[in-house]
Amino acid sequence: MKREQLLYIKMLIIIGCFGVFSVNGQVTCPTLDGPFDGANNVSVDTSISWTSIAGVPGYLISIGTTPGGNDIINSLNVGSATTYKPPLGLPENRTIYVTLTIFFFNAPDIVCTSESFSTANVTTPPPCTTVRIPSDGATNVNVGSSIFWNSASTATSYTVIIGTTMGGTEIANLNVGNALSYKPLPNFQFDTTYYVQVIPENENGVAAGTCNESSFTTGSLATIPGCTSMINPSNGANNVPLTPLLEWQAVPDAKGYRVSIGSTPDTADVIDNLVFTENSTLVLDFEPNRTFFITIIPFNEAGEAVGCSQETFSTLLGCGPFLDATTGELINLAPEISFEETITICQDDLPYTVTSADTADGFRWYSLDSDGDETLLSSDISFEIPNEGMYRYEAYNSISQSSASIECPSSVDFTVVASSMATIDKLNIVGQNGAIDINVEVSGIGDYEFAIDDSNGPYQDSNAFNNLAVGSYTFYVRDKNGCGIAEENFTQDLTLEGFPKFFTPNGDGVNDFWQFLPTQDSAEIEVGPIQIYNRFGILILFLDPSSLGWDGTVNGKPLPSSDYWFRSVSLSTQNEIKGHFTLKR
């Protein structure tokens, strides 16, 4: 799939996933959808989620214990995420206020009204936690490392115990408050094994049971590299091109860099911990109008840099859709297009020229193969379609943004189908004695409709004409795409007169045989061999039209009273004749 397709699909997905975002030109703020505004008895370790607003690059979240307060979380940029879980949980039995801010890098931010909910009262001690970094059993750990652990539900503080023997406490045995990391001073010693235990607690007591103890071993004497910082784009940069050259400060003694990039602070959905030996890399296809979070960690044989900060940058507006913070309108810079997904052309008119009726800066026409791969055929507003097949029409606008030029395309895949005038192969006649059904069999590559006796119609989709009186007719078959009208005359010699409706083979000399008996109206008809079927559609015999006829037996065995079917053909026209009759005993 090509780059333009991916951008277009992303655009459609963004448009389809969001709902109403403005009223009377004003941007509508997101609202909490978990916990809802006014909710009670909410768990202290809840995740906070809110509705999406189309076209914004990101959100800032503040959480506090007063309206508009930020004593818990202060204006944290979460990018395009619509869910956030406070890493340390929330205070118990309190009213919590959440303030969301719509972040714009090309307009003032919009601070939304705070919403609130109340947390539950915690009545039990917290569970144990586990040490996250260094991992249990890790070796060659940097002596300047910190200890990190996972949050324990309902915990309000943690006691960290560190020693050089199992259960030892000589390095640390202290409550570090409601934190999820601890760095001992001075640093750890080289080539030493340490044992770590972290015990959560709250007002109801310490974690029940004995929390697991983990261990790690530090590395030999060596110098770990320091952290780096972004050169291009710089931290906090706006209007970054969609395909920027990412470059950061080279770090002496670094052997490589671990790079992670995400659309939220907690994800790595663009690059996930990839290693680069140089201090730059080219990353393609950032989404427009988004904030991205990048973390770069230099490393060498001694270990990884410690405490490196996450940095951010925001991409240019792109083609959209993006929100105009002033008017509340959703802007899309790609042209609006109107083009049929199926084009039917008369076979004799190929090649066929189509011309775009859309307003745009440029146009492209592609052919598509069975794998969806495209070949550019034309860059003009008009296109000469060579034959049937799959094609793509694309219209685009050229946009300048922040000294960058981008194309904003809209496209549609379309199918070209050839059509032609019908060929009437034959007329199939069913029935007898004054009422007949006629089916018009045709061939061709068109989409056809049928009429009788008038080329102007009315036309019908069905090729069957039922309960017609014996007589002469003209049938018309019209291609719905305007590729012509075929016609076929039906004349009296196709009547079914002469085929009896019943016979009585009882030996009384009257109607003892069933056979084609030409009447005055059908005297000129010559028919071929007659096939006779039982009511189950099984062929039971062939009847010679010049013979005396059928006596109601097969292999000398009388057949029962029932309806039977026959089929033959008019030798003069080769049209099929068929109908049914009754054997009575």
Output the CATH code of domain 423-490: 2.60.40.10
Partnered with residue 153 across adjacent β-strands are none
Q: How far apart are CA 470 and CA 437, in angstroms?
A: 10
pLDDT digits (tens, 9 = 90+) for 303-346: 788 889 999 998 887 787 777 767 777 788 899 999 999 999 99
Which CATH class, in words, describes the domain spanning 342-419?
mainly beta
Evaluate if residue 3 carries a pLDDT over 50: no
Please tell me the CATH superfamily of domain 131-218, with its number: Immunoglobulins (2.60.40.10)
- What predicted TM-score, i.e. pTM, was given to this entire model? 0.57
Q: Give me the phi and psi of 145, to 5 degrees please.
A: -70, 155
pLDDT score of 440: 94
pLDDT digits (tens, 9 = 90+) for 72-97: 999 998 988 899 999 999 999 999 99
pLDDT score of 435: 65
Q: What is the identity of the amino acid at 347? A: Q
pLDDT digits (tens, 9 = 90+) for 239-296: 888 888 899 999 988 999 999 999 888 889 899 999 999 988 876 678 888 889 999 9
Q: How far is CA 281 from the centre of its chain?
A: 30
Contact by Cβ (8 Å): 314, 57: yes
What share of the chain in percent tops pLDDT 90?
A: 57
Dihedral, CA of residue 401, residue 407, residue 412 and residue 414, to nearest 10: 170
3-state helix, strand, coil in the chain (%, to 5): 5, 45, 50
**Burial of residue 213 (number of CB atoms within 10 Å: 0-12, 13-18, 19+):** middle
Q: How far apart are CA 531 and CA 538, in angstroms?
A: 10
Please tell me the CATH superfamily of domain 3-118, with its number: Immunoglobulins (2.60.40.10)
**Burial of residue 507 (number of CB atoms within 10 Å: 0-12, 13-18, 19+):** exposed
Q: How far apart are the first and last CA of the chain?
A: 74
Question: What number of CA atoms fall less than 13 Å from residue 548's CA on the CB side?
Answer: 7
Q: How far apart are CA 39 and CA 47, in angstroms?
A: 13
Cα distances (angstroms) measured from residue 194 to each of 142, 162, 172, 307, 344: 12, 7, 11, 20, 77
CATH classification for the domain delimited by 502-583, as one of 2.60.40, 2.40.390, 3.30.2310, 1.10.287? 2.60.40
Contact by Cβ (8 Å): 497, 433: yes
Evaluate if residue 484 carries a pLDDT over 90: yes
Contact by Cβ (8 Å): 235, 311: yes
Cα distances (angstroms) measured from residue 49 to each of 15, 37, 52, 84, 118: 20, 11, 9, 6, 15
Assigned token pair, 237:
């940069």
pLDDT digits (tens, 9 = 90+) for 216-231: 999 877 678 889 999 9
Q: How far apart are CA 233 and CA 246, in angstroms?
A: 7
Asked which of 21-35, 452-466, 530-544 is least confident by mean pLDDT, the reply is: 21-35
Q: How far apart are CA 548 and CA 499, in angstroms?
A: 14
pLDDT score of 523: 52
Q: What is the identity of the amino acid at 342? A: T
Q: How far apart are CA 199 and CA 152, in angstroms?
A: 9
Partnered with residue 368 across adjacent β-strands are 374, 390
Closest CA to 131 of 93, 172, 103: 172
Average pLDDT over the chain, rounded to whole? 86
3-state class of 9 per DSSP?
helix
pLDDT score of 520: 55
What residue ranges of the chain are covered by domains with CATH 2.60.40.10? 3-118, 131-218, 423-490
3-state class of 136 per DSSP?
coil
Partnered with residue 346 across adjacent β-strands are 419
Give the model's confidence band at 142: pLDDT under 50 very low, under 70 low, under 90 confident, else very high. confident
pLDDT digits (tens, 9 = 90+) for 518-552: 765 555 667 889 999 998 889 999 999 889 999 99
Evaluate if residue 24 carries a pLDDT over 60: no
Closest CA to 440 of 429, 432, 431: 429
**565 vs 572 pLDDT, higher one:** 565
Tokens 């110098």 locate to: 223
DSSP 441-507: EEESSS-EEEEES-TT---BS--EEEEEPSS-EEEEEEETTSS-EEEEEE-GGG--TTS-SEE--SS
pLDDT score of 583: 92
Please state whether beta strands 464-468 and 435-443 pair in parallel, antiparallel, or not at all (unpaired). antiparallel
Contact by Cβ (8 Å): 579, 470: no
pLDDT score of 544: 92
Asked which of 10-24, 120-134, 142-156, 346-360 is least confident by mean pLDDT, the reply is: 10-24
Contact by Cβ (8 Å): 96, 63: yes
Closest CA to 63 of 41, 78, 80: 78
The answer for residues whose C-beta is within 8 angstroms of residue 502's C-beta and 6 or more apart is 511, 581, 582, 583, 584
pLDDT score of 325: 67
Assigned token pair, 126:
């917290």
Contact by Cβ (8 Å): 179, 97: no
